[in-house]
Amino acid sequence: MAHAYTSKEMMALTAGRLVKNGDVLFAGTGLSMLAAAVAKRIHAPQSVVFFETGGIDPALKELPLAVADPRVMAGTCMNSGLLDAFSLLGHRRLRTIAFLGAAQIDPFGNINSTCLGDYHRPKVRFPGCGGACDAASLAFGVIIFMQQEKKRFVEKVDYLSSVGWLKGGNSRRQAGYKRGGPIAVVTNLGVMKFDEQSRRMYLAACYPGVSPAQVAENTGFDLDLTRAGESAPPSQEELTILRREVDPQRLILGPAPE
Amino acid sequence: MAHAYTSKEMMALTAGRLVKNGDVLFAGTGLSMLAAAVAKRIHAPQSVVFFETGGIDPALKELPLAVADPRVMAGTCMNSGLLDAFSLLGHRRLRTIAFLGAAQIDPFGNINSTCLGDYHRPKVRFPGCGGACDAASLAFGVIIFMQQEKKRFVEKVDYLSSVGWLKGGNSRRQAGYKRGGPIAVVTNLGVMKFDEQSRRMYLAACYPGVSPAQVAENTGFDLDLTRAGESAPPSQEELTILRREVDPQRLILGPAPE
Amino acid sequence: MSASIDLKDKLMSAEEAVRRFVKDGDMIALGGFTVNRNAMVIAREIIRQGRRELHLVMHSHGQAMDILVGAGVVSRLELAYGGTGRFAPTGIRFRKAVQAGQVQVEDYSNFQMSLRFLAGALNLPFIPSCSGFESDVLNREGFGPELRGRGRIPSRKAIITDNPFSPDREPVVLLPALAPDVALIHAQFVGEDGTVRIKGLTFLDIEQAKAASRVIVTCEEVVPSTFLRQDPDQNSLPPFLVDAVVLAPFGAHPTACHYFYDYDPRHLNMYRQVAGDDNDFRTYLKEWVYGVADQEAYLAKVGVSDLMRIKANSSVGYAPGLDRR
Amino acid sequence: MSASIDLKDKLMSAEEAVRRFVKDGDMIALGGFTVNRNAMVIAREIIRQGRRELHLVMHSHGQAMDILVGAGVVSRLELAYGGTGRFAPTGIRFRKAVQAGQVQVEDYSNFQMSLRFLAGALNLPFIPSCSGFESDVLNREGFGPELRGRGRIPSRKAIITDNPFSPDREPVVLLPALAPDVALIHAQFVGEDGTVRIKGLTFLDIEQAKAASRVIVTCEEVVPSTFLRQDPDQNSLPPFLVDAVVLAPFGAHPTACHYFYDYDPRHLNMYRQVAGDDNDFRTYLKEWVYGVADQEAYLAKVGVSDLMRIKANSSVGYAPGLDRR
């Protein structure tokens, strides 16, 4: 039997499913926090969450609303600082998975979180790349959250804040990156992945009730739809954990489904 | 009335007199520890002693026998690590004075604490430069302890571990050093300083009862003796503090005067 | 031997600290991070004293940056992120000022800014990094050539070169060190000898303070030196790197201070509202900055009930169950 | 959420830790400093298991380095200082081995070695420094061209270049990062989740551990995770950077471990005596290394009265009044 759920719930759970047990998770706040927390409770108990501010493996009895929230420093195994956090992010020993969000993304997973329009006199200014540029550079892999809209999925981002597969193919490695690159883009409609050779984005799965055509309509560039499957809907267990344990106040989940 | 004292006592007190109140003192162990402790008790109460290992302003209820002695980490204002210590050593805000010792010294205050003979197959191997090379590079000024012997005061050191005035004149600054250089060499016979222009060593003062000729005899290169004065003998106060408070067990002072 | 340094020459009011140690045009490093340990007392005092053309440098910053930019005292920023997390994902006044061309911005990443402060703290002229190849963070300069190499602004934003130790000559980014005029730090404790202890995450505060020529520390408590020297492993800065110490309880409000208080969601939400409108923001400044002479008056205005609401529980360091919507 | 990691897969004997994580030819970073927190239990076990051609890297090191060199298991060293302060201003076996040409030495300064470990920890390929211009530390290479660029040995000892950000092009030294195979660390506490806490000066242990591919930690106590997580500001390494944890009370003996015990002057003086003579040193190894199967047997040989003599007083962390002549 199907359960009612919101697209935010589906996004958090979908990203959570991409986590492997033991992954070291570099989380921002918002959806990434939910994805990490739910994965840890369901299938990745040995995964560790850490924040760029230096909080490692916090108890997370309450959800942080920023990466400098005092809740990222409570019950941790260690409180350090930014340099420690970034030294872990790129550590060759660790399979670090970073969750990022952005305002724009291009077909190769390059993202913009800096501005729209001219850089020197932007139409819209965003906060800036923060640690996302570093996570995109140094992490073992990156999972990106996006709202699927034509104006966000664009041929060319207005400002390249954080590098994905760059121009595709081998270009990322040639630019000097030793590892990493985006694994998946999780949106309100489905999951995009990247071709092993061309490194161009393709539709990997639609959420239940979403058609590939609907995803294409909300994408500003050509998207290969031929490999699209369908995501499994949230299980009762997943929803229960997400709603009761992870975000009972719905601080990030927002309004409950009708 | 004159008091009996040893040359080690005289060296510690002489170096201590060179400290200005408020100087931040980078001390090794041995004589430098005594010099710093005695200066702080007599005329430089606001001076702070710190160690390359990261201990800053320790209580020093007992004398440390190594820079990693637990006594350098007790009652400090801060226990950090090597990087913190070296960041203080060269800090533009701080008038850091470093005390160094060595096996050989040349007329421009360049010192050797690495080896005698061929570097690859030395006749005698010493511990290495440790933090002395850094102190000589980065501190505001350096005070050097030496035994005055011909084989130690040489035209050319076998291995240049820590740079003094290099080749004299402006050569130190031209090599890339922004500040620093040796202020004085304190030996068992007297005090050597460096000419403001040529940066060559000259005899600044003999200890009571020592003649300039005696210093020259124990120096392996030509030493300008024309500017030599005589050091004041230790005062009763200096000796009392050194013997009763600083090193009552004579761990570093060694045998008492006869 | 007893402690070498005494706090009494350094303990002063926020008014005196800003008057003596913050000049027009200064490059100022902001300690803390987004919603945590912002030196708000100093930020408000800087606005009150009408400093001008400040150049702010930081990794990710929120409330202090936004109010300084909003008050018009800032000309330039170097930063990685400007916002307060969920309360204002992009700083409201920051966004407005950038879009209106009122401030110039040089973007770096958090790791890059951290490395630049580290280089400043270690007295290295520059530092390599492997972050951001081919990104616009490296490819595009915010500051024009007219600013480059002037004062404390480096001659280049970054230099791409290659690793001379590697036979493959892999690319590497060189970043210029940061050496700000002033660092503003808010700490939990300062000892009577001037030793500083920060609890919880230290972010990059220690490196920022070491990189700076002058350091102003506001603190929740001044404590006997013996309290801090009983466990010196926990201390953050030695006395002789600090120029001014300002006793300022709730000095980071409306941002958080671990073990003392949480961020204030009501104030941050209210700020987001008023910051969106120029008139409302002027009123906010009048009421909350110009209209309060000092921290005592400010706290009276916040009110006891809001202060108690955000008071931290000692076991976790924040305010459990705080309504943060 | 509960702690993610459990110590039980990592807690092991010194024998197992060395067997699994130390290989012939490895580059090994020694934690601690001269007479403090040397990982002596692992050093002795490495000798017992007959590892060969080790390459030691350190800033200033004493007892563990000297015994490893004396036992003939070391081929190469990179270091700034080899000795134990007043007990042996130059390490006795170190001096003998260098003078006899039995080991190759590459000299750096303490700051240089620290920066090289820092670069390794931060995953930077190299790091600049302003220390040592025109010194033989920079001008003379200890390792010959036949070693350069092989394995983990950098292609060059250091590179003198100039600051590309400065119009004056001031000189600057580039130092290659260090990325050892193994780091040996002795800590006071390891939690049941594997978290490491070092008390007193941390020297460069944290950077050394982060720079290494594998990390072995010996510790005085294994404690409940809740003990360490109640004040995580004090912790030094996260669990997932540690491969092996060995419970080893008095594991740094005869060097010190802050808050637990002082260095052992009698043992260090005795060592200096025996190390000066090849036969006596062989006897020392037979008695104190090969002749003791594990730390329990070693401590029995040290004897209760010497252990009590050096036991630290909790108020200062060392043994006040200890006869140290």
Distance CA D49, CA D33 (A): 24
Asked whether residue D321 is assigned to any structural domain, the reply reads no
**Which of B59, B92, B94 is nearest residue C240 as measured by Cβ atoms?**
B94
DSSP string, D68-122: HHHTT-EEEEEESEES-GGG-SS-HHHHHHHHTT-SEEEE--HHHHHHHHHHHHH
Once rounded to an integer, what is the mean pLDDT over residues C106-115?
A: 98
What's the full length of chain D, in residues? 325
Residues of B in contact with C228 (CB under 8 A): 77
pLDDT tens track for D101-131:
999 999 999 999 999 999 999 999 999 999 9
Residue D324 forms part of a structural domain: no
**What single string gives the DSSP state of each residue in C209-224?**
HHHSSEEEEEEEEEE-
D154 is in which domain, residue-wise?
5-309
Region label for B154, one of left (φ > 0), alpha (ψ between -120 and 50) or beta (otherwise): beta
Residues B85-123 pLDDT 10s? 999 999 999 999 999 999 999 999 999 999 999 999 999
Residue C1 has pLDDT above 80, yes or no: no
Question: What tokens were used for D129?
Answer: 């420094």
- CB of C128 within 8 Å of a chain A CB? The answer is no
What average pLDDT does the structure give for chain C? 96
pLDDT(D168) > 60: yes
Count the Cβ atoms, other than its own, within 10 Å of residue C170.
Answer: 14
Q: What is the pTM of this model?
A: 0.97
Alpha-carbon torsion A69, A72, A74, A79, what sign? negative
Q: Does C3 score more than 60 pLDDT?
A: no
d(CA B132, CA B138): 10
C1–B59 C-beta distance less than 8 A: yes
pLDDT at position B2 is: 57
Could you give the dihedral angle defined by the CA atoms of residues B137, B142, B145 and B151, in that order, rounded to the nearest 10 degrees?
A: 50
CA proximity to D173, closest of D162, D188, D186: D162
Instruction: Give C151-184 pLDDT, tens digit per residue.
Output: 999 999 999 999 999 988 899 999 999 999 999 9
3-state secondary structure chain B: CCCCCCHHHHHHHHHHHCCCCCCEEECCCCHHHHHHHHHHHHCCCCCEEECCCCEECCCCCCCCCCCCCHHHCCCCCEECEHHHHHHHHCCCCCCEEEEEECCEECCCCCEECCEECCCCCCCEECCCCCCHHHHHHHCCEEEEEECCCCCCECCCCCCCCECCCCCCCCHHHHCCCCCCCEEEEEECCEEEEECCCCCCEEEEEECCCCCHHHHHHCCCCCCECCCCEECCCCCHHHHHHHHHHHCCCCCCCCCCCC
Residue D149 φ/ψ region, left for φ over 0, alpha for ψ in the -120 to 50 degree band, beta for the rest: left
User: Given an 8 Å threshold on Cβ–Cβ distance, is A77 in contact with D191?
Assistant: yes
d(CA D191, CA D210): 18
Alpha helices in C146-264 (DSSP H): 205-211, 225-229
- Give per-residue burial for C285-323: e unless 16+ CB within 10 Å, then b: beebbeebeebeebbeebeeebeebbebeeebbbbeebe
Show residues of chain B in contact with C240, CB under 8 Å: 24, 48, 93-94
Contact A78 D193 (CB under 8 A): no
Nearest to A153 by CA among A194, A123, A108: A108
Which of A29, A69, A118 is the best residue to mutate to test the C interface, defined by the most C CB atoms within 10 Å of its own CB? A69
- pLDDT computed for residue D246 by the predictor: 98
pLDDT of D298: 98
Q: What is the pLDDT of residues A30-60, one digit of tens each?
A: 899 999 999 999 999 999 999 999 999 999 9
Tens digits of residue pLDDT in D12-49: 999 999 999 999 999 999 999 999 999 999 999 999 99
Nearest by CB to A137, which of C60, C95, C132? C132
Classified as helix, coil or strand, D16 is: helix
Tokens standing for residue D227 = 């003990």
Task: Label residue B28 by pLDDT band (50, 70, 90).
Answer: confident
| Residues forming a β-bridge with A242 | none
Give residue D70's pLDDT: 98
pLDDT of residue A2 exceeding 60, the answer is: no
D135 part of a folded domain:
yes
pLDDT of C4 higher than 70: no
For residue C158, the chain A residues in CB contact (below 8 A) are none
Chains that touch B (3 or more CB pairs under 8 A): C, D
Q: CB B202: neighbour CB atoms within 10 A?
A: 16
Please check whether residue C206 touches D, CB under 8 A: no
> What distance in Å separates the CA atoms of residue C148 and residue C145, rounded to the nearest whole number?
5
| Residue A132, pLDDT score | 97
Q: Please tell me whether residue D274 adopts helix, strand or coil conformation.
A: helix
Q: D160 is written with which tokens? A: 């003198």
Per the domain annotation, does C51 fall within a domain?
Answer: yes
DSSP assignment, residue D231?
S
CATH at C26: 3.40.1080.10
Give residue-wise pLDDT tens across range B141-180: 999 999 999 999 999 999 999 999 999 999 999 999 999 9
Q: Do chains A and B touch (3 or more CB pairs under 8 A)?
A: no
Q: Is residue C100 part of a domain?
A: yes
- Mean pLDDT over all residues of chain A? 95
Show contacts of C168-171: CB within 8 Å, 24+ apart. Answer: C170/A176, C170/D125, C171/A175, C171/A176, C171/C133
D269–B contact, CB cutoff 8 A: no
pLDDT digits (tens, 9 = 90+) for D132-149: 999 999 999 999 999 999
Q: Which helix (H) or strand (E) holds D188?
A: strand D182-191
Specify the amino acid at residue A84. D
- Across the interface, whether the CB atoms of D165 and C174 are under 8 A apart is answered yes
D36: left (phi over 0), alpha (psi -120 to 50) or beta: beta
Strand (E) or helix (H) holding D186 = strand D182-191
The residue among D205, D220, D243, D245 whose CA lies nearest residue D299 is D220
Average pLDDT of the segment spanning D208-229: 97
Half-sphere exposure of B212 (CA within 13 A, CB side): 14
Instruction: Kindly list the partner chains of chain C, i.e. chains with 3 or more CB atom pairs below 8 Å.
Output: A, B, D
Q: Which of A79, A90, A138 sits opposite D233 (nearest CB)?
A: A79
Q: CB-side exposure of B102: number of CA atoms within 13 Å?
A: 37
Q: What are phi and psi of D269, to 5 degrees?
A: -65, -40
pLDDT of residue B1: 43
Contact B79 D200 (CB under 8 A): yes
Nearest by CB to residue C114, choosing from A64, A83, A137, is: A83
Q: What value of ipTM does the predicted structure carry?
A: 0.97
The model's pLDDT over A234-243, given as tens digits with 9 standing for 90+, comes to 999 999 999 9
User: Does residue B75 carry a pLDDT above 90?
Assistant: yes
Closest CA relative to residue B80, chosen from D32, D118, D59, D202: D202
Selection from A231, A183, A237 nearest residue A39 by Cα = A237
pLDDT band at D6 (very low <50, low <70, confident <90, very high): confident
Question: In percent, how much of chain B has pLDDT > 90?
Answer: 94
Non-local (6+) Cβ contacts of C109 within 8 A are A129, A130, A131, A132, A133, A134, C80, C131, C132, C137
The answer to the question of residue C322 being in a domain is: no
- Phi and psi at residue D66, in whole multiples of 5°? -65, -40
Taking one residue from B and the other from C, the number of pairs with CB-CB distance under 8 angstroms is 68
Q: What's A76's DSSP letter?
A: -
- Reported as a single tens digit per residue, the pLDDT across B176-223 is 999 999 999 999 999 999 999 999 999 999 999 999 999 999 999 999
Q: Could you give the C-alpha distances from B2 to B234, C17, D116, in angstroms and in order?
A: 9, 52, 53
Q: Is residue C118 part of a domain?
A: yes
**Can you state the angle between helices C14-21 and C40-48, rounded to 10 degrees?**
70
Q: Is pLDDT of D200 > 90?
A: yes
Rounded to whole angstroms, the Cα distance separating A153 from A216 reads 10
- Report residue C5's pLDDT band, with 50, 70 and 90 as the boundaries: low
Give the residue-averaged pLDDT of B121-133.
Answer: 97
Whether D317 and C233 have beta carbons less than 8 Å apart is answered as: no
Q: What is the pLDDT of residue D2?
A: 47
> Could you tell me the domains of chain B?
7-246 (3.40.1080.10)
Peptide bond into C164 cis (omega under 30): no
Domain count, chain D: 1
Please tell me the distance from the alpha carbon of residue C146 to that of residue C163, in angstroms, as a whole number.
Answer: 30
Strands D104-107 and D74-79: parallel
- Report the pLDDT value the prediction gives residue D262, as an integer from 0 to 100: 98
Among D278, D60, D40, residue whose Cα is nearest residue B130: D60
pLDDT value for D1: 47
Closest CB to B77 among C122, C210, C232: C232
Which of C109, C208, C311 best tests the A interface by mutation, with the highest count of A CBs <10 A? C109
B80 contact residues in D (CB cutoff 8 A): 201-202
Query: SS3 for C268?
Result: helix
Dihedral of CA atoms C214, C219, C224, C225 in degrees, nearest 10, equals -40
The verdict on residue D201 lying in a domain is yes
